[in-house]
C-alpha cells in the first residue's frame, strides 16, 4: 500500500508538505503542490479515512437510530438525513433499534468505537450515550437540555379534531396511540382540547401500538366495541386505512355514513379511494433539519434554537363530509 511517506519521497518534498496539501491547510508553494498532486496520481495514493479518523478522533460518519424502518414514516425521515449528510460529505450508519434497549446500546457503543461525529436518534436514547458525543433527537424532545427537531403534535391533534368539528359530527371515536410514544399523547391531548369545548360526544379507543401488522385486528375490534359512531380520528394513516377497509366491508359509505381522518400523510394515502383526509407530518424536513443541526453542533457553530418545532398541516381529501 502507498503511504504518505512514499508520496513525499516521489514528490521530493517533506511529509508535512504532503499533509498540508491534502488537508488544504497552511502554506504550500504552487510548485510543491503540483509535485504532490502528480505523485498522488502516479502512485494512486488515497488518504485512508480510517487513519485520518484515528488521528483526528472523529470520522466523517454520523449514526442514525430509528425505531422501526418498516413504518413508512421513517424512510422519509432517513432520506432527509442522508441528503443533508451527503451534501456535507458525511456517511450515515443506520441503526434500526425497534424500541429495544439492548440493540440501542449496542449501536451507541459501536458508534463511539468508530468515532462517529454525532448521532441522530428518533428512538429513545440513554443518558450516558448523550454526554460524550453531539446528538440531536428527532421527534422525541424529551429533556430540556436536549437538542431536537420535532413536529407540533398538540397542534396536529387540534387540527384533526377541528376538521371533524366543522363537519358537524355527533359521535366520534378517538383512537389513542401508544402511551409510551411522546407524540401520541400530545395528539390525543390536542384532540380532546378541541372536542371538550364542543358539543360532540366522543369515546377514546386505546390502541397501544403503531405496528402495521396489528392494524387489521384493531380495526375489527373498534367496530365490535362501539356502536353508532359517525367519525373516527385515527392514530395514523395505516390505522385509518384499516378502519376504512373494515367500514367498507360492513357496507358503510365513506364519508356519508362514516368519516375518517388519518395522521402522517403517507405516500400511499392519496391513492386510497376515497382519498384519505389527514394531517401531514414533515418527515423529510425533520430528518434534513435534524442533520443540519447536528452538523452545526459538530462544527461548533452557535445554535440559536435548541428545540425546533415544525408545524403539521391539514390535508383535505375525501374522507370528511
| Contacts with a copy of itself, residue ranges (CB under 8 A) | 1, 46-51, 53-54, 57, 59-61, 64, 69-70, 72, 74-76, 78-79, 82, 86, 91-96, 103, 106-107, 109-110, 112-115, 212-213, 215-216, 238, 241-242, 244-245, 248-249, 266-268, 270-273, 275
DSSP 269: G
* CB nearer to a copy of itself: pick between 154 and 272: 272
Residues 197, 177: Cα–Cα separation, whole Å: 22
* CB nearer to a copy of itself: pick between 70 and 201: 70
Q: How far is the CB of 75 from a copy of itself (least distance, A)?
A: 5
C-alpha cell at 25: 491547510
Q: How far is the CB of 68 from a copy of itself (least distance, A)?
A: 9
Q: How far is the CB of 177 from a copy of itself (least distance, A)?
A: 17
Q: How far is the CB of 302 from a copy of itself (least distance, A)?
A: 27
15-23 vs 4-11: helix axis angle to the nearest 10?
110
* CB nearer to a copy of itself: pick between 80 and 190: 80
Residues 81, 174: Cα–Cα separation, whole Å: 32
* Consecutive H or E run containing 312: none
Q: Decide: helix, strand or coil at residue 71.
A: coil
HEC states along 177-239? CCCCCHHHHHHHHHHHHHHHCCCCEEEEEECCCCCHHHHHHHHHHHHHHCCCCCEEECCCHHH
Q: How far is the CB of 276 from a copy of itself (least distance, A)?
A: 11
* CB nearer to a copy of itself: pick between 226 and 273: 273
* CB nearer to a copy of itself: pick between 132 and 196: 132
Amino acid at each position: 500500500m502507498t503511504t504518505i511517506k512514499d508520496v513525499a519521497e516521489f514528490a521530493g518534498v517533506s511529509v508535512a508538505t504532503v499533509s498540508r496539501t491534502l488537508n488544504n491547510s497552511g502554506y504550500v508553494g504552487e510548485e510543491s503542490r503540483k509535485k504532490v498532486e502528480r505523485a498522488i496520481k502516479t502512485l494512486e495514493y488515497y488518504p485512508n479515512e480510517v487513519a485520518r479518523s484515528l488521528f483526528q478522533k472523529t470520522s466523517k460518519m454520523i449514526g442514525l437510530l430509528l425505531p422501526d424502518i418498516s413504518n413508512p414514516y421513517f424512510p422519509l425521515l432517513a432520506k432527509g438525513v442522508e441528503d443533508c449528510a451527503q451534501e456535507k460529505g458525511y456517511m450515515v450508519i443506520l441503526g434500526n433499534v425497534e424500541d429495544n434497549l439492548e440493540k440501542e446500546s449496542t449501536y451507541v457503543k459501536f458508534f463511539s468505537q468508530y468515532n462517529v461525529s454525532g448521532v441522530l436518534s428518533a428512538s429513545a436514547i440513554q443518558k450516558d450515550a448523550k454526554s460524550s458525543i453531539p446528538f440531536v433527537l428527532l421527534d422525541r424532545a424529551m429533556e430540556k437540555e436536549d437538542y431536537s427537531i420535532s413536529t407540533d403534535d398538540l397542534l396536529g391533534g387540534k387540527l384533526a379534531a377541528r376538521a371533524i368539528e366543522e363537519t358537524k359530527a355527533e359521535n366520534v371515536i378517538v383512537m389513542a396511540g401508544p402511551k409510551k410514544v411522546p407524540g401520541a399523547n400530545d395528539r390525543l391531548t390536542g384532540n380532546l382540547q378541541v372536542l371538550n369545548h364542543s358539543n360532540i360526544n366522543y369515546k377514546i379507543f386505546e390502541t397501544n401500538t403503531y405496528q402495521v401488522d396489528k392494524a387489521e385486528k384493531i380495526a375489527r375490534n373498534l367496530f365490535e366495541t362501539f356502536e353508532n359512531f359517525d367519525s373516527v380520528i385515527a392514530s395514523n394513516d395505516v390505522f385509518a386505512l384499516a378502519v376504512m377497509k373494515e367500514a367498507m366491508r360492513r357496507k358503510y359509505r365513506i364519508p356519508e355514513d362514516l368519516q375518517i381522518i388519518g395522521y402522517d400523510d403517507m405516500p400511499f394515502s392519496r391513492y386510497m379511494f376515497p382519498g384519505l383526509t389527514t394531517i401531514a407530518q414533515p418527515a423529510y424536513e425533520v430528518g434534513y433539519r435534524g442533520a443540519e443541526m447536528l452538523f452545526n453542533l459538530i462544527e461548533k457553530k452557535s445554535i440559536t434554537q435548541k428545540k425546533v418545532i415544525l408545524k403539521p398541516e391539514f390535508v383535505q381529501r375525501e374522507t370528511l363530509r
